[in-house]
Structure 1
Amino acid sequence: MEDGEDESSSLIFIVCGVAILYIALVKSERSHPNLRHITSSANQGYILSFLDALRALFQGPALVQKGYEKHRVNLFKLATLQRWLVIVAGTQYIEELRKASEDDLAPIDAASQPDMSRYLLRHHTTPNMQQESFLTRHITQNLPFLTLDIKDELVAATTDSSVLSSASEDWKEICGRDLVVPLTARVVDRIFFGRKFARNKRYSQLSLNSMIKGLDFKRALFLAFLPTSFGNFLSWFSRSRQDEQQIQKILTAYIREEKENVSINDVNHKPRDVLFQVIHNVIVGGMTGVESTLLSLNSTAKHTLALAFGHILYDLATNSTDTGFMRQEIKDLVAREGWSKNALDKMYIADSFIKESMRMNGIFTLPTIRKAVQPFTFSDGTTIPQNTFIAVPATARHYDDTLYPSAGTFDRLRFSSSHEKGVHHHCSTSRTGSVQYNLTTSTTEYLPWGIGQHACPGRFFAAIVLKTMLAHVVLHYEVKFEDRKRPPNIIVDMNCFPDLEAKIFIKRSKGEGNGGIGRT
């Protein structure tokens, strides 16, 4: 009897000790500037606000929405496990944040964001921002030359996929992940590493495995629940981390091999993939340690594009009866101009469809986050103390009926310039698209890309990839949900993801045989 009591007492002490250690670590990490003058969206006290922070792990967007509706033109604070966030809800505040210099409000990258994005975006190491900027700039500058590569890889990935290549003119039920992940992985790898490396079977399998494990939201939620120090430590022992280490070994060996075969004069005669540019700069500029930066950027691109395309695909399946005009627009443009960036730029209906999908189902509830380098005072006199994190509530503004009429309704033509004129039919290529409605345009009302000079630098690349993938699917397939209802999104902290395990029905478009995939 005494042994049983001793064991129970020991267990109680262990549980209490772990709980105290957990609270102490969270409390130490959650130290924050004095924000008592900022209205809280919920509870002000430490204990109750800590409970709010736990709720935010599962209901983050809803809590932001609730605060936004109460403080629509002002600002408020929201509790997270790491710290308080100041949310700037009013347009004037957002505009002042946009104009603020880095000396006042500094941007922070995904690896240091005060939520679990660092685990979802696969940042196991701190990215080299200078190298990332160089690589992103190279991709953007070469987009006109990369469009055909994207389409070529989509055709190859479709052929290699047993799920897609076996599709017929009869409806077939598949897992959403089986369509989204292989296409996204192959396209991004083609742009980053070139055709040879992207189609390397060993690398391709590791890449897919890493993506699938990386999209394990339960694991990410578990890591987010832990204090940052614990989460960072455990992430180093994850299976996806082991896959990434194998990938880095393959990449390093490949760069070493290719470096021997590339001369300085080859830069004008070789493919324009990112890897070749890296090899060239290793030779000419002595760039070192770029492999980890390249893999970090590649992994981030694959995960975010897969999630974004998952949302787009599900919106397409929910609104599958409205694809006729989009399909005709794509066919006409490709027939006239081929698979070119110029043709993609004129796909206004596809552009509007993607933009509307990102408005209603943005991946990040708070894509714009700044840190006060020094005390910052808004024009109304409200001062934000040093080291405060400030965020813009993108999703809440996207659902604001005063900014978007019928904001809760999916309108595929909402951002099309033809929609402004009341024209709901296919438009000729002579029409000039308004920059205001372009997918890549960021405003105080449209915020998936962030805002200001620090808006997502990869958005031009992302737009081309997403539009090409959507056009490919619309031309060659039809998709739907069994009951025409979109599966509920998965909420993890301040993020909103499509349920890639959901079932979706797919069939090949009429007149599209297996060979038809590569013809248009």
Structure 2
Amino acid sequence: MESGMLAYGLLAFATVAYLFRWLMPPKSSLPDIPAVTPTTPILSFWGSIKNLTHNKELILEGYHKYKGRAFKVPELFRWHVIVTGPKLVDELRKAPDEMLSFKDAVIEQISMDWTFGPAIMGNPYHIPLIRSNLTRNLVVLFSGVREELMAAFNDAIPPSDDWIAVPALETLMTIVSRTSNRIFVGLPTCRNPDYVDLNIKFTIDAVTTGIMLNMVPAFLRPIVGRLLTSVPKSIERGVKHLGPVIKERYRMVEEYGHDYEGKPNDMLSWLIDEAEGVETGARELVLRILSINFGAIHTSSNSFTHALYRLASNPEWTLTLREEVEQVVKEEGWTKNALQKMHKVDSFLKESQRCDGLGSVSITRLAVQDFTFSDGTFIPKGTFVSAAMMPIHHDEEFYENPEMFNPWRFAEKRSGEGEELKHQLVSTNTEYITFGHGKHACPGRFFAANELKGMLAHVVTTYDVKLEKDGEIPPPSWIAQSLVPNRTGKVLFRKRRD
């Protein structure tokens, strides 16, 4: 959905929400937790409308007023509690699931019953596969990933002696989809244009539907959800591509056993091996693959677009990165181990995540029981709680000159004794929570990091890049708590000159 249409849609749904708010006031006003907007019903409603487009300002205001404590921001049908300071952030990530639930927060926040279907989080057997099988196979599968990202870039941005303007986010979604699906479903499906388009459309539809459904009361979501959801059509479209593949793999398993010779080593095979009962059906496996694609495409394409805009705004950084990549590759070749040694590449991406990131909050939980933090902050059942990610990442207590984009910030930190691992892109702590923190930190971050580093290394060794307007990064957008890179911004590419 185009940004203008989305804006009109948000306004329409906000109007409906205004009418129903009087019928369904927030369950708790959380009177003991300070707010960044007025708390009276009418004014808090207008505060919730402001939160849709100015969440960044509200979160920053709360963080600086109540640092080390909790505060609350208004949403259409609830208050959302934000905790600050390392102590409370650590307590949030350590809180038991039976009290502050990650799973229930995900289901509620993106209206998962309608954006993905209830089975995905009802039986999330794919998550251990992402955490274990996918991570363990990164070394073995790296050559295929590298081959695919090279082919995808070459198809989308053919090296040219002349500058070519490329729509950044749109192009990168295609490249990320192809590269990710090389390891999800393999060749030739990962290169099929309709299959690539399906996964991108499913990702965009899921985000848009989730936003819309959060703007109507819970009792209306089954009705509105049936009107908005694209899941059934997406599954049908996916079955056309993957149905015959799934059928053939089951035939091979039945005839030769689970470890048959030539068995593809990809996510689809791992799912087939683990699926039980109804989940063994082709439609169910297709939906599982679509959902995994959502996680890969949405976060990685947004993250790399932010990073690409930063790189193109200062083309001189390309030379520094290029020098590191070529030196490491000369010693290690194009391998996963080589990526591990590209400290400046890793640092550039981590600094981009710190400065831009995916939004204002992280480590979001839903209280399924009453919970009390050590400072006495009481969180009643049914309350959303998050950590203030964006202000933490811009706090001078944790980062020197936090408003400055220093591409080598984390590479320099890694040079200290005992600091080698702490400042990697995939590492999390209470001061860096892009991937969350603790046991629910993003399970796919190791794959994502390798994919992003491989993409950045390829870009700097293959192209020169710059912005259409020198140094002027296309402005991003805020939609509630999410930071979205400019959807129409373009980056200029040409074949490298030196």
Same fold? TM cut 0.5: yes
Secondary structure of 2:357's partner?
coil
385, 404, 424: which one aligns with 1:438 = 424
Secondary structure of 1:415's partner?
helix
CA RMSD of aligned residues (A): 3.0
- Deviation at 1:74? 1.1
Distance 1:28 1:142 in 2: 52
User: Contact conserved, 1:131 with 1:293, CA < 8 A, in 2?
Assistant: no
1:487 equivalent in alignment to 2:477? no
User: Contact conserved, 1:56 with 1:493, CA < 8 A, in 2?
Assistant: yes
Matches within 5 A, 1:386-425: 386-417=381-412
188, 200, 203: which one aligns with 2:192 = 200
Secondary structure of 1:504's partner?
strand
After superposition, the Cα gap between the structure-2 partners of 1:306 and 1:286, relative to the gap in structure 1 and judged at 3 Å, is: closer
User: Contact conserved, 1:105 with 1:372, CA < 8 A, in 2?
Assistant: yes
Matches within 5 A, 1:304-343: 304-343=299-338
Distance 1:156 1:29 in 2: 53
User: Contact conserved, 2:413 with 2:423, CA < 8 A, in 1?
Assistant: no
Distance 1:446 1:317 in 2: 25
Distance 2:32 2:276 in 1: 55
- Deviation at 1:112? 2.5
After superposition, the Cα gap between the structure-2 partners of 1:33 and 1:226, relative to the gap in structure 1 and judged at 3 Å, is: closer
- Deviation at 1:475? 1.1
Q: Indicate the residue corresponding to 1:131 in structure 2.
A: 125
- Deviation at 1:414? 0.9
Q: Indicate the residue corresponding to 2:259 in structure 1.
A: 266
- Deviation at 1:223? 5.3
After superposition, the Cα gap between the structure-2 partners of 1:102 and 1:109, relative to the gap in structure 1 and judged at 3 Å, is: closer
Q: Indicate the residue corresponding to 1:516 in structure 2.
A: none
User: Contact conserved, 2:141 with 2:183, CA < 8 A, in 1?
Assistant: yes
User: Contact conserved, 1:61 with 1:495, CA < 8 A, in 2?
Assistant: no
1:141 equivalent in alignment to 2:132? no
Matches within 5 A, 1:471-486: 471-481=457-467, 482-486=469-473
- Deviation at 1:328? 1.4
Unaligned runs of 5+ in 2: 1-12
Q: Indicate the residue corresponding to 2:48 in structure 1.
A: 53
Q: Indicate the residue corresponding to 2:438 in structure 1.
A: 452
After superposition, the Cα gap between the structure-2 partners of 1:410 and 1:301, relative to the gap in structure 1 and judged at 3 Å, is: same
Per-residue CA deviation, residues 74-108 of structure 1 (Å, 9 max, x unaligned), is: 11111111311111012211122222222332213
- Deviation at 1:399? 1.1
- Deviation at 1:287? 4.2
Secondary structure of 1:395's partner?
helix
1:504 equivalent in alignment to 2:491? yes
| Aligned residue type for 1:339 | W
1:96 equivalent in alignment to 2:96? no
User: Contact conserved, 1:124 with 1:236, CA < 8 A, in 2?
Assistant: no
After superposition, the Cα gap between the structure-2 partners of 1:321 and 1:228, relative to the gap in structure 1 and judged at 3 Å, is: farther
The 10-residue stretch of structure 1 (490-499 or 329-338) with the greater mean CA deviation from structure 2: 329-338
Distance 1:158 1:374 in 2: 48
User: Contact conserved, 2:52 with 2:479, CA < 8 A, in 1?
Assistant: yes
The 10-residue stretch of structure 1 (276-285 or 29-38) with the greater mean CA deviation from structure 2: 276-285
Distance 1:267 1:26 in 2: 58
Distance 1:72 1:295 in 2: 40
User: Contact conserved, 2:33 with 2:70, CA < 8 A, in 1?
Assistant: yes
After superposition, the Cα gap between the structure-2 partners of 1:234 and 1:247, relative to the gap in structure 1 and judged at 3 Å, is: farther
User: Contact conserved, 2:105 with 2:366, CA < 8 A, in 1?
Assistant: no
Unaligned runs of 5+ in 1: 1-17, 422-430, 512-520
1:247 equivalent in alignment to 2:233? no
User: Contact conserved, 2:182 with 2:190, CA < 8 A, in 1?
Assistant: yes
Q: Indicate the residue corresponding to 2:7 in structure 1.
A: none
Secondary structure of 1:85's partner?
strand
Distance 1:44 1:53 in 2: 10
User: Contact conserved, 2:332 with 2:338, CA < 8 A, in 1?
Assistant: yes
After superposition, the Cα gap between the structure-2 partners of 1:348 and 1:28, relative to the gap in structure 1 and judged at 3 Å, is: farther
| Aligned residue type for 1:368 | I
| Aligned residue type for 2:43 | L
Distance 2:277 2:257 in 1: 7
After superposition, the Cα gap between the structure-2 partners of 1:317 and 1:419, relative to the gap in structure 1 and judged at 3 Å, is: farther
User: Contact conserved, 2:169 with 2:302, CA < 8 A, in 1?
Assistant: no
Q: Indicate the residue corresponding to 2:456 in structure 1.
A: 470
Secondary structure of 2:188's partner?
helix
Secondary structure of 1:157's partner?
helix
Per-residue CA deviation, residues 55-88 of structure 1 (Å, 9 max, x unaligned), is: 1111112211111111112111111113111110
Distance 2:308 2:488 in 1: 13
The 10-residue stretch of structure 1 (360-369 or 124-133) with the greater mean CA deviation from structure 2: 124-133
Q: Indicate the residue corresponding to 1:12 in structure 2.
A: none
- Deviation at 1:360? 0.7
TM-score normalised to the size of structure 2?
A: 0.87
| Aligned residue type for 2:77 | Q
Distance 2:222 2:361 in 1: 22
- Deviation at 1:418? 6.0
User: Contact conserved, 1:366 with 1:391, CA < 8 A, in 2?
Assistant: yes
Bigger radius of gyration among the two: 1
Q: Indicate the residue corresponding to 1:376 in structure 2.
A: 371
Distance 2:161 2:16 in 1: 59
User: Contact conserved, 1:122 with 1:300, CA < 8 A, in 2?
Assistant: no
Percent sequence identity over matched residues? 32
Q: Indicate the residue corresponding to 1:64 in structure 2.
A: 59
TM-score normalised to the size of structure 1?
A: 0.83
Distance 1:443 1:231 in 2: 36
Distance 2:205 2:486 in 1: 14
Per-residue CA deviation, residues 214-258 of structure 1 (Å, 9 max, x unaligned), is: 4986x8755554445656654555595434531144323421133
- Deviation at 1:437? 0.5
User: Contact conserved, 1:209 with 1:240, CA < 8 A, in 2?
Assistant: no
Distance 2:105 2:324 in 1: 36
After superposition, the Cα gap between the structure-2 partners of 1:238 and 1:307, relative to the gap in structure 1 and judged at 3 Å, is: same
